[in-house]
Homo-oligomer: A and B are copies of this chain.
Amino acid sequence: MNRVEADEGTRVGRVMQAIRSRIAGRELAAGAKLPSIRRFSETMAVSKSTVVEAYDRLAAEGVIQARRGSGFYVAGHAPPFSVADLGPRLERAVDPFWVSRQSLDAGDSVLKPGCGWLPADWLPQEALRRALRTASRAPAETLGDYGTPLGLAPLRQVLARRMGLHSIDASPAQIMLTESGTQALDIVCRFLIEPGDSVLVDDPCYFNFHALLRAHRVRIVGVPYTRSGPDPVELERVLAEQRPRLYITNSALHNPTGATLSPVVAHRVLKLADQFGLTIVEDDIFADFEPEPAPRLAAFDGLDRVVQIGSFSKSLSASVRCGYIAARQDWIEGLIDLKIAASFGTGRLAADMVLTILRDGSYRKHMDGLRGRLARAMGETSARLKAMGVRPWIEPRGGMFLWCELPEGLDSAIIARQLLAEDIVLAPGNVYSLSQSAGRFLRFNVAQSGDPRLFSALGRAMAAGAPQGSTASD
């Protein structure tokens, strides 16, 4: 096959893929008419014959049907909704569920440097056991009843005070408890966006933002993330062009990069949000991992255009489910209704346990120790990776994530697949990247990267994958 044919094949494939994702995303429902050959050739900037070829192949596959003299139509009934089918069909190694599914399914013998949480023995076990014993003596209502719509009042008071330490002015009545940070984001999305809206995320960003937004059937748009936050020039361009309603981001200890929003960029972001009528969700679940507080959009903005969400899944326990939303007072009633509709109440027991641990001082002590332990693990992991030619993009101020670039010529998705065969779950960069531009990156969880097996297996995979004439440590 010569170069021209290969390019032509790619173009036909691209058109086929574009139609397939519109069908999967329900933009084209079963029975709907496809765009005309002429119009779609303009949309995709390809020749009409390329579109004809693509439509013919899709018809041969039974995906669409030609009707004489009338054009092409989507065939039969749509299959049940699948979030994995929306957006470009990616290889399973780089789709947004790859890391979560592999990590959640992994047995105890599997190494999980790609996962997003701490090993269970880094969590405050004694405090959790004590909180369970305390709960075993709680009133009958705590053991059996639904919580109130907003959730346990004394915990909301503590959360409001903690937000005050970050200069965020929130009353307990502006805080609603949820089952988790993810559920908090889901409720906010249900409240603020509708199918077909555009939603902005950082590129790269936490992969589950992509997964959740696909479930909401919105159009996801990305803004490049720099070492001090979203690129302001690109942000302005994408706001003007795509008019997203919502922007989901982390301000401190950004996932996956570990970067921190600078005050200058924070002000620029809020100014643009005002200008373009944008609402921002600041996902702050890593707040307590910071060595010292960095700027928060919610602090500058006063919870006007900014909604903050948080949880204790990363710092305390993923098993004791407790997250929260802090938002404008006039949005709280609507958020409560949606929480009741989608999950009825929230568990009193989890909230009660979190409150016990926050109050008795064991949480503060645990986090003090944890930050030190993570800083040491960060130094060690960083040194080991650098020695192998794997370069950290920045030295994060804290947290558990190290965003690293492989030497040229290596593909992190290939390496991730190779290490999976050796029972090691890595997090390849493109699961975080809407533009698929992070193919040489890996996110390492330094708390899960202590085992020397990781580095020997990584070294072998890099050597095997390196272009001829170079070595992995070039």
Contact = CB atoms under 8 A, between A and B. Distances in A.
A142 B341 contact: no
Nearest to A118: B144
Contacts of A194: 26, 78, 81, 217
20 contacts: A77-B277, A80-B331, A81-B193, A84-B337, A108-B141, A120-B143, A120-B144, A132-B132, A132-B136, A136-B136, A142-B319, A143-B317, A183-B343, A211-B340, A211-B341, A214-B341, A215-B338, A319-B347, A319-B349, A321-B350
Contacts of A214: 341
Interface stretch (A14-22, A58-66, A123-131, A418-426): A123-131
**What is the interface residue range for chain A against chain B?**
35 or more
A212 to B, nearest CB: 5
A324 to B, nearest CB: 14
A411 interface: no
Interface in A187-239: 190-195, 208, 211-212, 214-215, 217
Given A100-B344, A182-B344, A144 B337 contact: no
How many copies make up the complex? Answer: 2
Which of A117, A183, A318, A334 counts the most chain B CB atoms within 10 A?
A: A318
A319 B136 contact: no
Given A149-B104, A191-B81, A321-B321, A140 B117 contact: no
Contact of A129 (B117, B120, B130, B137): B137
Contact of A337 (B82, B128, B180): B82
A342 B144 contact: no
